């Protein structure tokens, strides 16, 4: 099967600065049985992942939906694609699907907002979106939470759907046998990620635990500069025991996680999946998580979860519980990794995507006959 995979705007398909979507797509294709017959279309980047068939376009096309759609169509035709997979962006996926006989699958990496069925404008908008979804041959969601929410909000859409998690090659992750007494928080420097609350909790904990330290690895720091400054100001009282690193590669993040004892994932928003939590489990951290959206799917029962509308004190309490119970910390770390290694093994996850591709292409061939 020949597959064309089209990346959305503002992605960075390379090891130096990849987003979570880039990493998800790279991992799935790397382990796919269709790896050698898959072409990835993406914007030019300072680095590109190696070992894959990649065609790039300049930023001037990345900013222009019509030009991007034409590029995708030309590339799909050139490679005689049997299937087109559009990552994330519904208008592009629907626009491509209306112009080709090749089946188009939309791979969504976030929650899809509902549109009320009341009011003339909303009714028209909803009808437009429904028609876009119906133009697709299939939809992939990154968690059961995302899929179930979509089904509840959009019952009119009967397009075939599947859940394909983010996967990891757990052989790439080597947890240290002896862990640093370090609390680590990895994520975008954005309010919805709960970074400031984590910083406030760290200040409180380190004030009571002199043998512990903390580390923050923050990405996309340019988006909310004032918020980043607030985080840095919050950490100032314990600056001698906290390291803040920005815009690190996956290799660096992996190394840091593999050495830390406790990972914080205090997201305020409904996480579509929660790759940060998955990486923390793979690295052998004990995880304290808000459990929002897909985060509970990622951790199962192998994390300490914060209550709804959690406070800074709730984060402090859960971390203090782990620090005061080394046996629990070790058990959650080990069992969390084992659970995730079974549920999110890259080979199985990538095979689930391949199986859905085959189902869609086979279904359309049967219907055409």
Per DSSP, the three-state class of 42 is strand
- DSSP β-ladder status, 161-163 and 138-141: parallel
Positive/negative CA dihedral, 127, 128, 130, 131: positive
Residue 180, number of CB atoms within 10 A of its CB: 16
Spell out the per-residue pLDDT of the chain, length 369, in tens.
Answer: 999 999 998 899 999 999 999 999 999 999 999 999 999 999 999 999 999 999 999 999 888 888 888 888 888 888 899 999 999 999 999 999 999 999 999 999 999 989 988 888 989 999 999 999 999 999 999 999 999 999 999 999 999 999 999 999 999 999 999 999 999 999 999 999 999 999 999 999 999 999 999 999 999 999 999 999 999 999 999 999 999 999 999 999 999 999 999 999 999 999 999 999 999 999 999 999 999 999 999 999 999 999 999 999 999 999 999 999 999 999 999 999 999 999 999 999 999 999 999 999 997 665 665
Residues sharing a CB contact under 8 Å with residue 22, sequence separation 6 or more, in sequence order: 7, 11, 12, 13, 14
DSSP character string of 126-147: HHHHHHHHHTSSEEEESSHHHH
Across 290-305, b (16+ Cβ under 10 Å) vs e yields bbbbbbbbbbeebbbb
| CATH, domain 3-167+346-368, list 3.40.50.10070, 3.40.50.300, 3.40.50.620, 3.40.50.2000 | 3.40.50.2000
Taking the C-alpha atoms of residue 347 and residue 345, their distance in angstroms, rounded to an integer, is 6
Q: Does domain 170-343 have CATH number 1.10.10.10?
A: no
Q: Do 3-167+346-368 and 170-343 share a fold?
A: yes
Query: What whole-number distance in Å separates Cα of residue 111 and Cα of residue 16?
Result: 27
In the chain, domain spans? 3-167+346-368, 170-343
List the strands of the sheet with 3-6, edge to edge. Answer: 53-57, 38-43, 3-6, 83-87, 104-108, 138-141, 161-163
Burial class from Cβ neighbours inside 10 Å (0-12, 13-18, 19+) for residue 120 reads exposed
3-state secondary structure of 216: strand
């Amino acid at each position: 099967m020949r597959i064309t995979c089209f990346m959305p705007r503002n992605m960075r398909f390379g090891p130096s600065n990849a987003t979570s979507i880039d990493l998800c797509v790279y991992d799935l294709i790397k382990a796919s049985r269709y790896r050698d017959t898959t072409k990835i279309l993406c914007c030019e980047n300072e680095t590109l992942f190696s070992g894959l068939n990649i065609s790039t376009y300049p930023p001037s096309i990345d900013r222009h939906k019509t030009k991007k759609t034409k590029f995708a169509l030309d590339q799909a035709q050139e490679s005689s694609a049997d299937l087109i997979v559009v990552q994330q962006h519904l208008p592009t996926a629907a626009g491509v699907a209306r112009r080709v006989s090749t089946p188009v699958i939309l791979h969504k990496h976030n929650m899809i907002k509902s549109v009320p069925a009341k009011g003339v404008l909303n009714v028209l908008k909803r009808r437009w979106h429904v028609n876009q979804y119906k133009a697709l041959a299939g939809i992939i969601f990154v968690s059961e939470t995302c899929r179930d929410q979509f089904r509840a909000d959009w019952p009119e859409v009967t397009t075939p759907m599947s859940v394909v998690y983010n996967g990891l090659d757990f052989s790439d992750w080597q947890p240290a046998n002896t862990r640093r007494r370090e609390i680590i928080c990895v994520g975008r420097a954005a309010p919805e990620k709960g970074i400031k609350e984590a910083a406030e909790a760290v200040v409180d904990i380190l004030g009571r635990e002199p043998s512990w330290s903390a580390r923050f690895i923050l990405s996309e720091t340019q988006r909310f500069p004032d918020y980043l400054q607030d985080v840095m100001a919050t950490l100032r009282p314990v600056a001698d025991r906290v390291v803040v690193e920005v815009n690190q590669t996956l290799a660096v993040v992996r190394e840091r996680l593999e050495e830390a004892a406790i990972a914080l994932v205090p997201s305020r928003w409904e996480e579509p999946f929660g790759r940060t939590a998955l990486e923390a489990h793979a690295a052998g951290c004990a995880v304290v998580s808000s459990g929002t959206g897909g985060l509970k799917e990622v951790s199962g029962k192998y994390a300490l979860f914060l209550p709804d509308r959690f406070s800074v004190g709730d984060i402090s309490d859960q971390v203090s519980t782990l620090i005061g119970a080394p046996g629990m910390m070790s058990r959650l770390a080990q069992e969390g990794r084992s659970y995730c290694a079974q549920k999110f093994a890259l080979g199985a996850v990538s095979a689930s995507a391949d199986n859905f591709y085959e189902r869609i292409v086979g279904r359309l061939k049967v219907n055409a006959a």
